[in-house]
Amino acid sequence: MKLAEMQRLFYQLAARAPGSADLDPAALLAGTGELDAQARIGIYADMFIWRQIDALREDFPKLALLLGDGPFYAMAEDYLKAHPSRHASLSELGRELSGFLREWRGEGARGDLAELAGLEWARAKVFEEANVEPAQPERLRAFSGDELPRLRLRFVPALRVLELENDLGDLWQALEDRVPPGPPLARGNTIAVWRKGFEVLHAPIDQDEARALALAQSGESLGAVCEAFVERPDAVEVAFRAISSWFAEGWVFAAEAT
């Protein structure tokens, strides 16, 4: 048997890939007095799945805590059967988990699981993003009153904005405090997820700020961005406070007048 064929056979057996039950591990591994070939490959197969589940637990700690050890393990096994690893890095293993949980009906399933997984995935990816030096808050003061409406902002890679159908605030806090969480709270909201230094943060933003941020991220001028607040009685103050906070939190890395 050639090396490439041995590698393919070993992977199929160790990963318990579809059709692997029909393969003979004795063609690859010799048995011993204590373990036959099937038992020996079983050790590799168990370690293969356990390492992947451990990787999922590292990226989704709140989800694992909410479900508990047994249900999380069962859910992870179901997920890995539906979405086997296709990437060389385990850091990409959970990419489809949020979508998977929208249809999953195993023990512990609830209406906000998918969005909790989506939030944890966003936090994991934000942590991995390239480090870009953010613009200092004083940068805004470098522009004249005529230049400010024409200003366009560029945002750091380590920023995500999530549109959610469930309010995860109470659930997240309950998991932080390790107290029993309440039922899902169906309430549309927007969450910003970002990295500040080495710390990953997330926080809700109101609808007006969410619209303004979307406009800014799409490349609109600051004048157009501020129109998101136009119906507020204190529009100028609210717009200034929101945009200033983007700089203060390190979301913006460049501001250019066009």
The residues facing 255 across adjacent strands are: 153
Distance CA 155, CA 217 (A): 7
Distance CA 111, CA 101 (A): 9
Distance CA 106, CA 152 (A): 47
Q: pLDDT tens digits for 193-248?
A: 999 999 999 999 999 999 999 999 999 999 999 999 999 999 999 999 999 999 99
Q: Flag whether pLDDT at 23 surpasses 90.
A: no
Whole-number pLDDT of residue 16: 67
Residue 251 is part of a domain; what is its CATH number?
Answer: 3.90.930
Same domain, 135 and 97: no
Counted domains in the chain: 2
Q: What is the pTM of this model?
A: 0.86
**If DSSP states are collapsed to H, E and C, what string results for 174-238?**
HHHHCCCCCCCCEEEEEEEEEEECCEEEEEEECHHHHHHHHHHHCCCCHHHHHHHHCCCCCHHHH
Same domain, 164 and 248: yes
Helix (H, G, I), strand (E, B) or coil at 242: helix
Alpha helices per DSSP H over the chain: 3-14, 37-59, 61-67, 69-82, 97-103, 113-128, 169-177, 207-217, 222-226, 235-248
CA 199 to chain centre: 15
Whole-number pLDDT of residue 214: 98
Distance CA 203, CA 181 (A): 19
Same domain, 153 and 32: no
Tokens of 219: 């490349």
Residue 93 lies in a domain: yes
What's the domain range around 219?
A: 130-258
Q: pLDDT tens digits for 32-57?
A: 767 776 777 766 666 778 899 999 99
Instruction: Give the torsion sign (CA, 219, 222, 227, 229).
Output: positive
Whole-number pLDDT of residue 114: 99
Distance CA 19, CA 33 (A): 28
Residue 117 lies in a domain: no
Residue 8 lies in a domain: yes
